[in-house]
Structure 1
Amino acid sequence: MALDPSERPLKPAPSRRKRWLGMAAVCAALALGAWAVATGTIEIPERFNPWAPLDVAAPPDWLTGFKLERARREPARCLAALAQTGMQYDLLPDRVTGPGCGFENALRLRSAGVRLGTSPSLSCPMALSFFMWERHALQPAARQRFGQPVAAIEHLGSYACRNVNRGEGAVPGASRSRHATADALDVAGLTLADGRRITVLHDWPRDGSAASTDDPAPLLLRDAHRGACRFFNGVLGPDYNAAHKDHFHLETGGYDMCR
């Protein structure tokens, strides 16, 4: 005689101890796998290995951000990655120029594959992020929108011992800007290979609507801004406030923001 479903004995629920043991086994297996990959006991392609050094020439993938952040945190690893870029630079001695001002592990960038005008002083993390942005975001966008590369980047400066500027100038008593530690660069414009000049002040779409397809310049600037958010910790542009109406503020080491 079949039992009524309501009379069938319920299966005992797994005990809390068994659940914890199962979770511990999974964690142990994951930890063992991670250790095996990190120590080279198990070899996997570098593009799938989060502990492999950043390959600055490789197309970005889902691990690029992790590897870039790891390189930026470790001075020796950062310089090793920077040495792959082909950029020309002079290392700068660590220095303190005032309260909260100065830099460590910094360099003067002489050549970056594009003309820069004056040579900016940048921290190694900032220079590494600049290369990744220029190589993997800016140039592909320029070729897509114009069929040619960017030949020059106009900037408004990098290192400056000053406070944060929120539109009213550098306010006394405010926190230090990332410029004060050579962790920021202000990009004002681009010059294409054919000589066309594109500036944030004149070509950024001001109404917030989609840029006209008749002129790819605003689209390129949008692409450049969006791409920068992948390779820098902080990106501010004209949509943020009036103080940034004529440039993109790019920085490393601060809070994550893309405005």
Structure 2
Amino acid sequence: MRRGTVLLALFLASCMGGGDRPAPIRERKSGPITLNRPTPRETQQCFTDLSRERVRYSALPDRDFGGGCVVTGAVQLIDIGVPVTNLKSMRCPLARSFAGWVRFAVAPAAKQILGSELVRVESFGSYSCRAIIGGNAAASGRMSEHGLGNAVDVGAFILADGRKVRVETGWKSDDPAVRQFFQVIHNSACKRFRTVLSPDYNAAHYNHLHLDMGRGPFCA
């Protein structure tokens, strides 16, 4: 066996097992550290955009939560016109895109396609200090955009007529109107966010739409 082949085999063996694994991603036990930094111009512009669109929000301090989880230029959304459950801090560009998507894509699609007003969006949350879940080997141990306050997962939509339209059961629903609703809001999301992951992407996303402003563009 050639020397180069031997070295390659040893390298692969060290990658697949026995090598050093990355430290788990978790917040520091002592709590977050507030970062006293000037607010960048693009963040100030984002705040202005939210105010102009009459989105009620509270600006949050930049914080280092430990484990690589750092959230800067973030807001807490208070009122975007439709109640949204389980939201924590979100970076302002994500909040701006999310508010626009709900207002100008999801709400009209619910009315026009499903025949009922959108009254609530149910999310699985935004900020969470963790690694990517359900990724491939290359993504294993890599920081999730959730750990940067740069992603939100949406699981269901509540309509005025009492229907709860879940991603889990509606994505491949027997009802063509429900399927069309999800197709329309998915296509719109892909134009507003850098990465959109649906149940078509992998098993980890069987029950929600993942929307983030990180790497991309990628739409699945």
TM-score by structure 1 length?
0.65
1:33 corresponds in structure 2 to none
Moved more, 159-168 or 118-127: 159-168
Is the 1:156–1:186 contact (alpha carbons within 8 Å) kept by the matching residues of 2? yes
Moved more, 150-159 or 108-117: 108-117
Q: Which amino acid aligns with 2:107?
A: Q
Deviations 1:175-232 (A, max 9, x none): 1110011000000000112221000111111xxxxx65x5412221121111110111
1:230 corresponds in structure 2 to 191
Counting only pairs closer than 5 Å after superposition, residues 90-169 of structure 1 correspond to structure 2 as 90-166=58-134
* SS of corresponding position for 2:187: helix
Is the 2:106–2:185 contact (alpha carbons within 8 Å) kept by the matching residues of 1? yes
Deviations 1:87-118 (A, max 9, x none): 22211110001132121110111222111123
Counting only pairs closer than 5 Å after superposition, residues 73-84 of structure 1 correspond to structure 2 as 74-84=42-52
1:240 corresponds in structure 2 to 201
2:156 corresponds in structure 1 to 189
Rounded Cα–Cα distance in structure 2 between residues aligned with 1:95 and 1:188: 27
Rounded Cα–Cα distance in structure 2 between residues aligned with 1:73 and 1:167: 34
Counting only pairs closer than 5 Å after superposition, residues 41-56 of structure 1 correspond to structure 2 as none
2:169 equivalent to 1:202: yes
2:179 equivalent to 1:218: yes
* SS of corresponding position for 1:80: helix
* SS of corresponding position for 1:156: strand
1:86 corresponds in structure 2 to 54
Counting only pairs closer than 5 Å after superposition, residues 162-181 of structure 1 correspond to structure 2 as 162-166=130-134, 174-181=141-148
Is the 2:86–2:124 contact (alpha carbons within 8 Å) kept by the matching residues of 1? no
Q: Which sections of structure 2, spanning at least 5 residues, go unmatched?
A: 1-39
Cα offset, 1:167, TM superposition: 5.4
Is the 1:110–1:119 contact (alpha carbons within 8 Å) kept by the matching residues of 2? no
2:216 corresponds in structure 1 to 255
Rounded Cα–Cα distance in structure 2 between residues aligned with 1:73 and 1:255: 23
Q: Which amino acid aligns with 2:159?
A: L
Identity %: 38
Superposition RMSD on alpha carbons, in Å?
2.2
* SS of corresponding position for 2:125: coil
Rounded Cα–Cα distance in structure 1 between residues aligned with 2:87 and 2:190: 23
* SS of corresponding position for 1:188: strand
Q: Which amino acid aligns with 2:186?
A: H
Is the 2:86–2:122 contact (alpha carbons within 8 Å) kept by the matching residues of 1? no
Q: Which amino acid aligns with 2:206?
A: K
Q: Which sections of structure 1, spanning at least 5 residues, go unmatched?
A: 1-71, 206-210
Q: Which amino acid aligns with 1:218?
A: R
Is the 1:167–1:242 contact (alpha carbons within 8 Å) kept by the matching residues of 2? no
Task: Name the CA shift for 1:160/1:73 in 2 (closer, same or farther; >3 Å).
Answer: farther
* SS of corresponding position for 2:96: helix
TM-score by structure 2 length?
0.75
Counting only pairs closer than 5 Å after superposition, residues 13-92 of structure 1 correspond to structure 2 as 74-92=42-60
